[in-house]
Amino acid sequence: MKPRNETPAAGADEHGQSLALAAGSDCAVAAARQVADLGGNAVDAAIAAVLAATTEPGVTALGGGAYLTIWPQDGLPVTIDGNVEMPGRDGIPPEPDLDSVHMEYGGGITTLVGNASIGTPGAIAACGRARDRFGKLPWKTLLQPAIDSARSGFPLSMACWSYLQYSAKPIFSRSEEGRRALLTPTGEIKAAGTRIRLPELADSLEIIAREGPGSLYTGSLGRRIASDIIESGGILSATDLARYQVMERKPVTVELNGWQIAGNPPPAAGGTSLAAMLLLLESNVASDADRRSILVDVQRQVIQLREQMAGLVDPGPAAFAYLEKTARGISAPNTVHVSAVDRSGLACAVTWSAGYGSGLMPGGAGIWMNNCLGETELNRRGILSDPPGTRVPSNMAPTIARNENGSVLTIGSPGAERITTALLYTLYYVIFESLPLAEAIEKPRAHVEKSAAGLAIACEPGATHDDTKLPLRRFDRPDMFFGGVTAAARLADGSLIAAADPRRTGATLVC
């Protein structure tokens, strides 16, 4: 295998390559390789990889939400929406279990955790739908690598370990199983590389493999989890799980410089905002302005556009139409992503998030649950701001781009509000500067962020001018705060490549 941040299949003709995939860990890539060796396609491999990745504590969790954007070579793109939704169909407890936690991660984050922060998870259901529509291998086969990993153990990755420095004690030690898995007998975080075993999770995964995704929604596993949450001051009930529905949506699409780009549509905010930024780029790249200034300014303009719209964080179709129209007229945490493309041109981008994590494993199931209701930067109107069944806001933006020359790129990133920033920079350098994929991912980034004092710029060295009008929050080196892009591509000549962001631990596969 080539260096971990990029893997081309050099020297192999297109008939000798079947799959290119990039993910956040060796564990995820090993799962994809196992599935590819059994004849799985890009969707099979992506599902197996992301399921294996969800066993990694602190990075994401099985009890979260996901979006999968899938684009067959000779078909139309689709986004499968398995995001977390608002629970509460059986009422709200008089004393919800909810705590505010502050972490110094990324310069300081306050989030809400506890049983009442848990929304209805949809990721497993979405993966099941994707497998049924586009996969080749049995559902049980796709889960087997994750089962084996949880049962026999996997090394605690550096990305997990880094986040756990902030979150292990206030969040992930809230359950006995979590403390046993992550902390030493003296209460210290286990060292990076330590083998983590999650036997209760392996048991639950075996149930899901045997009974299908529905076991988490209408089966005994789901009922056990929901009962524990309700008894412990939570909101998620068995009724909420049973009534969860996966949605298939038409992606947001834009055309730029010979590329057609398909991303996560409303009600998610991530793909909408990314599309608006790319449209702004298109109208500015022909100018003589410095590219660093343009990349910062399009972020600023889209933030201001979103602030002008009712709802702000959850724009619907009308809001995107407004963004698109306005953009064309202006002159100028806790998430994993897997990108996969196969020899046939089938492309799959899947982003999975559990928020910052609730820290809880209800019902003895070994499944860490999300805290998506407690992500205050997204749920600005309150923890139960919308009726039960409403999708919670999301910045996830799994994206696929096809070029008129026949090449296809699948891309995404973790990173909360920095997801769209990471993708904006990478896509700019690929689409407008024609840089190689790995080089485009490594380019320095800046992120326009909101604070009590107004807008400011968080920036890596070389990403912005010192004379910018906005205050600067400088990082002294490239940092995982700015996302962790993973991307895979089939080039115009049929060859396959994959690249992973050096800002985070990541791995690639071309086989």
In the structure encoding, which two tokens stand for residue 189, read together?
């975080």
DSSP sequence for 111-139: EEESGGGPPBP-HHHHHHHHHHHH--S-H
Do residues 267 and 200 both lie within one domain?
Answer: no
| pLDDT number for residue 277 | 86
CB neighbour list of residue 467: distance below 8 Å, 6 or more residues apart:
none
| pLDDT number for residue 356 | 86
In the structure encoding, which two tokens stand for residue 475, read together?
């990082």
Which phi and psi angles does 292 have, rounded to 5°?
-65, -40
Residue 199 located in a structural domain: yes
Do residues 318 and 368 both lie within one domain?
Answer: no
CB neighbour list of residue 228: distance below 8 Å, 6 or more residues apart:
362, 363, 364
| pLDDT number for residue 312 | 39
| pLDDT number for residue 427 | 96
Do residues 104 and 235 both lie within one domain?
Answer: yes
CA dist 295 and 284 (Å) reads: 10
Number of H helices, E strands in the chain: 14, 21
Do residues 329 and 348 both lie within one domain?
Answer: no
CA dist 486 and 411 (Å) reads: 6
- Kind and range of the H or E element at 411? strand 408-412
Residue 182 located in a structural domain: yes
Do residues 208 and 329 both lie within one domain?
Answer: no
Type of residue found at 90: D
Do residues 237 and 260 both lie within one domain?
Answer: no
Residue 496 located in a structural domain: no
CA dist 449 and 108 (Å) reads: 13
- Kind and range of the H or E element at 401? strand 399-403
| DSSP letter, residue 144 | H
Residue 504 located in a structural domain: no
- pLDDT tens figures, 143-195: 999 999 999 998 888 778 888 888 888 888 888 888 888 899 998 999 988 99
N-terminal to C-terminal alpha carbon distance within the chain: 10
Residue 132 located in a structural domain: yes
Give 448's Cβ-side CA count (13 Å radius).
21
> Which residue in 106, 12, 13, 56 sits closest to 507, CA to CA?
56
Sites in the chain below the pLDDT cut of 50: 1-6, 8-15, 309-320, 322, 324-332
In the structure encoding, which two tokens stand for residue 404, read together?
């008129």
CB neighbour list of residue 357: distance below 8 Å, 6 or more residues apart:
58, 61, 113, 167, 171, 172, 334, 368, 369, 370, 371
pTM of the model: 0.90
Considering its fold, how many domains does the chain have in total? 2
Do residues 347 and 212 both lie within one domain?
Answer: yes
Distances (CA, A) of 328 to 297, 342, 420, 432: 14, 34, 18, 17
Asked if 92 and 365 count as a contact pair (C-beta separation under 8 A), the reply is no
Alpha-carbon torsion, ordered 178, 182, 183, 184, to 10 deg: 120
Residue 511 located in a structural domain: no
Do residues 306 and 169 both lie within one domain?
Answer: no
> Which residue in 508, 500, 496 sits closest to 9, CA to CA?
496
Type of residue found at 461: P
CA dist 327 and 62 (Å) reads: 37
Do residues 48 and 83 both lie within one domain?
Answer: yes
Helix (H, G, I), strand (E, B), or coil: what is residue 496?
strand
Give 464's Cβ-side CA count (13 Å radius).
24
Do residues 201 and 308 both lie within one domain?
Answer: no
Helix (H, G, I), strand (E, B), or coil: what is residue 327?
helix
Type of residue found at 314: D
Residue 388 located in a structural domain: no
CB neighbour list of residue 297: distance below 8 Å, 6 or more residues apart:
280, 284, 332
Q: Sign of torsion, CA 44 145 165 487?
A: negative
| pLDDT number for residue 31 | 97
Do residues 315 and 172 both lie within one domain?
Answer: no
Cis peptide before 398 (omega within 30 of 0): no
- With tokens 């009724």, the residue in question is 239
Do residues 242 and 325 both lie within one domain?
Answer: no
Residue 313 located in a structural domain: yes
CB neighbour list of residue 209: distance below 8 Å, 6 or more residues apart:
139, 140, 143, 144, 147
- pLDDT tens figures, 309-349: 444 344 444 444 545 444 443 333 568 899 999 999 999 99
Q: Which domain holds residue 90?
A: 6-248+342-374
